[in-house]
Structure 1
Amino acid sequence: MTNPVVTDLISRSNRLGADPKNTNYAGGNTSAKGADTDPVTGDAVELMWVKGSGGDLGTLQEKGLAVLRLDRMRALVDVYPGVEREDEMVAAFDYCLHGKGGAAPSIDTAMHGLVDAAHVDHLHPDAGIAIATAADGEELTQKIFGDGAGGQTVVWVPWRRPGFQLGLDIAAIKAANPQAIGCILGGHGITAWGDTSEECEARSLEIIETAAAYIQEHGRPDPFGGELAGYGALEATARRAKAAALSPTIRGLASTDRPMVGHFTDSEVVLDFLSRAEHPRLAALGTSCPDHFLRTKVRPMVLDLPADASVDDSITRLKELHEEYRADYQAYYDAHATDESPAIRGADPLIVLVPGVGMFSFGANKQTARVAGEFYVNAINVMRGAESLSTYTPISDAEKFRIEYWALEEAKLQRMPAPKSHATRVAFVTGAASGIGNAIATRLAAEGACVVIADLDLDKARDAAAELGSTDVAVGVQVDVSKPDAVAAAIDEAVLAFGGVDLVVNNAGLSLSKPLLETTEKDWDLQHDVMAKGSFLVSQAAARAMIAQQMGGDILYIASKNAVFAGPSNIAYSATKADQAHQVRLLAVELGEHGIKVNGINPDGVVRGSGIFAGGWGANRAKTYGIDEENLGEFYAQRTILKREVLPEHVANAAIVLTGPDMTHTTGLHVPVDAGVAAAFLR
Structure 2
Amino acid sequence: MPINKDEFRHVDYNWDDSVADKLSELESLVYRSNVLGADQRITNTGGGNTSAKLMETDPLTGEQVEVLWVKGSGGDLRTAKVENFSSLYQGKLNALDGTYQARDDKGYKQAGEDAMIGMYKHCNFCLNPRASSIDTPLHSMIADKHVDHLHPNAVISIASCKDQEALTEKVWGGKMAYVPWMRPGWEAAKVCEEAYAAKPDSIGILLGQHGHTNWESESKSCYETSLWVIETAARYIEEHDKGEMTFGGAKVESLSDEARTELLAKFLPVARGILSNKVKFIATVQSDETALRFVNSVDAPRLAKLGTSCPDHFLRTKIQPLYVDFNPATDDFDALVEKLNAGIEQYRVEYKAYYDACKRDDSPAMRDPSPTVILIPGVGIIGWGKNKSESRVTTEFYNCAIEVMRGAEAVSEYTALPQQEAFDIEYWALEEAKLQRMPKEAPLARDIVVVVGAGDGIGKETAFRVAKEGAHVVCADLRFEAAQKTADELTAIYGQGIGVAGTGISGCGPAIAQEVNITDRESVQKMFEQVTLAYGGIDKVIVTAGVFLAPGQAGMSNDQQFDVSFAVNVKGGYIVGTEANEIWKAQGLKGALVLTTSVNAAVSKKGSLAYDTSKAAANHLVRELAVELSPLVNVNGLAPATVVKGSTMFPRDRVIASLTKYNVEFTESDSDDELRDKLANFYAQRTLTKSPITPADQAEAAYLMVSGQLSKTTGQIISVDGGLHEAFLR
Same fold (TM over 0.5): yes
Aligned to 1:542: 580
Structure 1 stretch 126-135 or stretch 219-228: which is displaced more? 219-228
TM-score (norm 2): 0.90
> Which SS does the other structure have where 2:629 is aligned?
helix
Deviation at 1:583, TM superposition (A): 2.1
Alpha-carbon distance between aligned partners in 2 of 1:42 and 1:362, rounded to the nearest angstrom:
52
Contact 2:87 2:128 in 1 (8 A): no
Alpha-carbon distance between aligned partners in 1 of 2:443 and 2:407, rounded to the nearest angstrom:
43
Aligned to 1:149: none
Aligned to 2:64: 44
Which amino acid in structure 2 is aligned with residue 330 of structure 1?
K
User: Is 1:5 paired with 2:25?
Assistant: yes
Contact 1:352 1:361 in 2 (8 A): yes
Residues 488, 615 of structure 1: alpha-carbon distance in 2 compared, 3 angstrom cutoff: farther
Alpha-carbon distance between aligned partners in 2 of 1:260 and 1:453, rounded to the nearest angstrom:
20
Aligned to 1:159: 181
Residues 614, 358 of structure 1: alpha-carbon distance in 2 compared, 3 angstrom cutoff: farther
* RMSD (CA atoms): 1.8
Deviation at 1:545, TM superposition (A): 1.1
* Pick aligned residue for 1:142 from 147, 169, 189: 169
Contact 1:120 1:191 in 2 (8 A): yes
> Which SS does the other structure have where 2:560 is aligned?
helix
User: Is 1:486 paired with 2:533?
Assistant: no
Alpha-carbon distance between aligned partners in 2 of 1:314 and 1:576, rounded to the nearest angstrom:
44
Residues 403, 662 of structure 1: alpha-carbon distance in 2 compared, 3 angstrom cutoff: same
> Which SS does the other structure have where 2:729 is aligned?
coil
> Which SS does the other structure have where 2:247 is aligned?
coil
* Pick aligned residue for 1:127 from 149, 154, 178: 154
User: Is 1:190 paired with 2:212?
Assistant: yes
Which string of whole-angstrom CA distances, capped at 9 and with x for unpartnered residues, describes residues 139-175 of structure 1? 11111112xxxxx211221000111111111111111
> Which SS does the other structure have where 2:336 is aligned?
helix
Map residues 235-274 of structure 1 onto 2, 5 A cutoff. 235-274=256-295
Deviation at 1:258, TM superposition (A): 1.4
Contact 1:232 1:274 in 2 (8 A): no
Alpha-carbon distance between aligned partners in 2 of 1:417 and 1:509, rounded to the nearest angstrom:
38
Aligned to 2:249: 226
Stretches of 4+ moved more than 6 A in 1?
515-518
Alpha-carbon distance between aligned partners in 1 of 2:335 and 2:433, rounded to the nearest angstrom:
42
Alpha-carbon distance between aligned partners in 2 of 1:334 and 1:618, rounded to the nearest angstrom:
69
Map residues 601-616 of structure 1 onto 2, 5 A cutoff. 601-614=638-651
Alpha-carbon distance between aligned partners in 1 of 2:353 and 2:550, rounded to the nearest angstrom:
65
Map residues 589-628 of structure 1 onto 2, 5 A cutoff. 589-594=627-632, 596-614=633-651, 617-619=654-656, 621-622=658-659, 625=662, 627=664
Structure 1 stretch 11-20 or stretch 509-518: which is displaced more? 509-518
Deviation at 1:547, TM superposition (A): 1.8
* Pick aligned residue for 1:659 from 706, 714, 720: 706
Structure 1 stretch 97-106 or stretch 264-273: which is displaced more? 97-106
Aligned to 1:117: 144
Which string of whole-angstrom CA distances, capped at 9 and with x for unpartnered residues, describes residues 221-253 of structure 1? 22311211xx22211122112111111111122
Map residues 564-603 of structure 1 onto 2, 5 A cutoff. 564-594=602-632, 596-603=633-640
Aligned to 1:105: 132
User: Is 1:551 paired with 2:577?
Assistant: no
Deviation at 1:518, TM superposition (A): 8.1
Contact 1:423 1:448 in 2 (8 A): yes
Contact 2:269 2:536 in 1 (8 A): yes
Contact 2:684 2:693 in 1 (8 A): yes
Which amino acid in structure 2 is aligned with residue 389 of structure 1?
V
Alpha-carbon distance between aligned partners in 2 of 1:359 and 1:295, rounded to the nearest angstrom:
14
Alpha-carbon distance between aligned partners in 1 of 2:268 and 2:652, rounded to the nearest angstrom:
38
* Pick aligned residue for 2:563 from 502, 507, 525: 525
Aligned to 1:501: 538
Residues 620, 498 of structure 1: alpha-carbon distance in 2 compared, 3 angstrom cutoff: farther
Which amino acid in structure 1 is aligned with residue 544 of structure 2?
N
User: Is 1:645 paired with 2:682?
Assistant: no
Alpha-carbon distance between aligned partners in 1 of 2:663 and 2:607, rounded to the nearest angstrom:
13
Contact 1:111 1:170 in 2 (8 A): yes
User: Is 1:313 paired with 2:360?
Assistant: no
> Which SS does the other structure have where 1:204 is aligned?
helix
Which amino acid in structure 2 is aligned with residue 288 of structure 1?
S
Alpha-carbon distance between aligned partners in 2 of 1:569 and 1:310, rounded to the nearest angstrom:
56
Deviation at 1:89, TM superposition (A): 0.5
Deviation at 1:592, TM superposition (A): 2.7
Deviation at 1:100, TM superposition (A): 2.7
Which string of whole-angstrom CA distances, capped at 9 and with x for unpartnered residues, describes residues 23-44 of structure 1? 0111111111111111121111
Contact 2:308 2:314 in 1 (8 A): yes
Alpha-carbon distance between aligned partners in 2 of 1:181 and 1:584, rounded to the nearest angstrom:
70
* Pick aligned residue for 2:306 from 252, 276, 285: 285
User: Is 1:378 paired with 2:392?
Assistant: no
Gaps of at least 5 residues in structure 1 are 147-151
Alpha-carbon distance between aligned partners in 2 of 1:127 and 1:518, rounded to the nearest angstrom:
67
Alpha-carbon distance between aligned partners in 1 of 2:293 and 2:218, rounded to the nearest angstrom:
41
Alpha-carbon distance between aligned partners in 2 of 1:389 and 1:655, rounded to the nearest angstrom:
58
Structure 1 stretch 323-332 or stretch 399-408: which is displaced more? 323-332
Deviation at 1:101, TM superposition (A): 3.9
> Which SS does the other structure have where 1:250 is aligned?
helix
Which amino acid in structure 2 is aligned with residue 499 of structure 1?
G
Alpha-carbon distance between aligned partners in 2 of 1:357 and 1:520, rounded to the nearest angstrom:
51
Deviation at 1:473, TM superposition (A): 1.0
Aligned to 2:238: 216
Deviation at 1:618, TM superposition (A): 3.9
Map residues 337-486 of structure 1 onto 2, 5 A cutoff. 337-469=359-491, 470=496, 471-486=508-523
Deviation at 1:478, TM superposition (A): 0.7
> Which SS does the other structure have where 1:666 is aligned?
coil
Contact 1:157 1:184 in 2 (8 A): yes
Alpha-carbon distance between aligned partners in 2 of 1:185 and 1:477, rounded to the nearest angstrom:
46
Deviation at 1:661, TM superposition (A): 3.9
Which string of whole-angstrom CA distances, capped at 9 and with x for unpartnered residues, describes residues 467-489 of structure 1? 10133110001111111111001
Contact 1:123 1:190 in 2 (8 A): yes
Deviation at 1:461, TM superposition (A): 1.4
Gaps of at least 5 residues in structure 2 are 1-21, 497-507, 667-674
Report percent identity of matched pairs. Answer: 41
Alpha-carbon distance between aligned partners in 2 of 1:323 and 1:583, rounded to the nearest angstrom:
40
Alpha-carbon distance between aligned partners in 1 of 2:138 and 2:482, rounded to the nearest angstrom:
50
Deviation at 1:460, TM superposition (A): 1.9
Deviation at 1:424, TM superposition (A): 0.8
